[in-house]
Amino acid sequence: AQKVTQAQTEISVVEKEDVTLDCVYETRDTTYYLFWYKQPPSGELVFLIRRNSFDEQNEISGRYSWNFQKSTSSFNFTITASQVVDSAVYFCALRRDDKIIFGKGTRLHILP
Amino acid sequence: DAGVTQSPTHLIKTRGQHVTLRCSPISGHKSVSWYQQVLGQGPQFIFQYYEKEERGRGNFPDRFSARQFPNYSSELNVNALLLGDSALYLCASSLDPGMSTGELFFGEGSRLTVL
């Protein structure tokens, strides 16, 4: 079965704190892609990152970083020095064939 | 450059009615996908169209249908609306159905409320 689990439904942190959003996935495919999307209140899903199954290098983009570990089927997302503008719902997702399977999302509140 | 555009942004219908949602992909994108996002959940795949052909269909009843036009825009139709159809309907476009670029570009969605 293809499945994405985001166990954290909602997280609140104070601005400037670091926060990690967890993602665990299940797939029988040997080649697959993982994604993170951000959904602000406007509703639009904003692409953050894609990672393929052959590339386990961690990635950093500004305050964002991602930790991909095939051994534990996890693809966690860390925001360093969080800002109020980071408040949104974040989705982890897995591509299967021509569709994307999303987790249920983690609602992140950054408190000023 | 214009992103993915959807219309209408909000609409209210009553049970049993029919609704048509519209989507214009990013210029040059030939693949359009539709997703349903119920409140508090992640988006669920409904359809994908590429070059006017249906490429994939999610686990939705036959009341849901879609089509893609020669200009690659798309319509999602839902018949005999149920209360449970209330959701944000997201359209996404990509250059190709396999998303070789790695990205789906999403619109802001059409929020449907069924009373």
So what's the pLDDT on residue B99? 57
> Which of B36, B45, B101, B110 is the best mutation test for A, with the most CBs of A within 10 A?
B45
Q: Check if A102 contacts B (Cβ < 8 Å).
A: yes
Which residues of chain B neighbour A37 with C-beta distances below 8 Å? 106
3-state secondary structure of A71: helix
Mean pLDDT, rounded, for B64-92: 97
| Confidence at residue B98, expressed as pLDDT on a 0 to 100 scale | 65
Residue A96, pLDDT score: 76
In the block, residue with structure tokens 């993982």? A34
Q: Name which of A42, A50, A91 is nearest B108 (Cβ-Cβ).
A: A42
Task: Give the nearest chain B residue to A10 (CA atoms).
Answer: B40
Residue A83 confidence (pLDDT): 96
pLDDT of residue B102: 58
- Distance, in Å, from the CA atom of B109 to the CA atom of B92, rounded to the nearest integer, reads 9
Which pLDDT score, from 0 to 100, does residue B60 have?
97
Structure-model confidence comparison of residues A41 and B6, the more confident one: B6
Among B33, B102, B107, select the one facing A99 at the smallest CB separation: B33
Q: What is the DSSP letter of B100?
A: T
Neighbours of B101 (CB within 10 A): 12
Q: Is B96 helix (H, G, I), strand (E, B) or coil?
A: coil
Instruction: State both tokens at A22.
Output: 């967890």
Would you say B40 and B34 are in contact if contact means Cβ atoms under 8 Å apart? no
Q: Is the pLDDT of residue B17 over 60?
A: yes
Q: How many CB pairs under 8 A join A and B?
A: 58
Mutation site, A47, A96, A99, interface B, largest B CB count within 10 A: A99
Residue B100 CA from chain centroid, whole number: 20
**Residue given tokens 């959807």 in the structure block:** B6
The whole-angstrom distance between residue A7's C-alpha and the CA centroid of its chain comes to: 12
Quick one: pLDDT at residue B97?
64
Q: Tell me: the pLDDT tens digits for A13-59?
A: 999 999 999 999 999 988 888 999 999 988 889 989 888 888 888 88
**How many residues make up chain B in this entry?**
115
pLDDT value for A95: 86
Cβ–Cβ under 8 Å, residues A36 and A20: no
Residues of B numbered 1-60 whose beta carbons fall under 8 angstroms of chain A's beta carbons: which are they?
Answer: 31, 33, 40-45, 48, 50, 55-56, 58
A41 part of contact set with chain B, CB < 8 Å: no
Adjacent-strand bridge partners of B7:
B22
- For residue B101, pLDDT over 70 is answered with no
- What pLDDT, on the 0 to 100 scale, is given for residue A58? 83
CA–CA distance from A72 to each of A2, A92, B85, B90, B103 (Å)? 15, 15, 36, 31, 25
Q: Which residue has the higher pLDDT, B97 or A88?
A: A88
d(CA B45, CA B37): 9
- Residues of chain A neighbouring B88 (CB-CB closer than 8 A): 43
* pLDDT tens digit sequence for A71-110: 999 999 999 999 999 999 999 999 877 788 999 999 999 9
3-state secondary structure of A105: coil
Residue of B nearest to A99 (CA): B45
Name the residue among A107, A108, A101, A112 with its Cα closest to residue A24: A101
Question: Does residue B111 sit at the A interface (CB-CB below 8 Å)?
Answer: yes
Nearest to A47 by CA among B97, B41, B32, B104: B104
Task: Read off φ and ψ for residue A75, nearest 5 degrees.
Answer: -145, 80
Nearest CA in chain A to B4: A44
Mean pLDDT of B60-80: 97
Q: What is the mean pLDDT of chain B?
A: 92
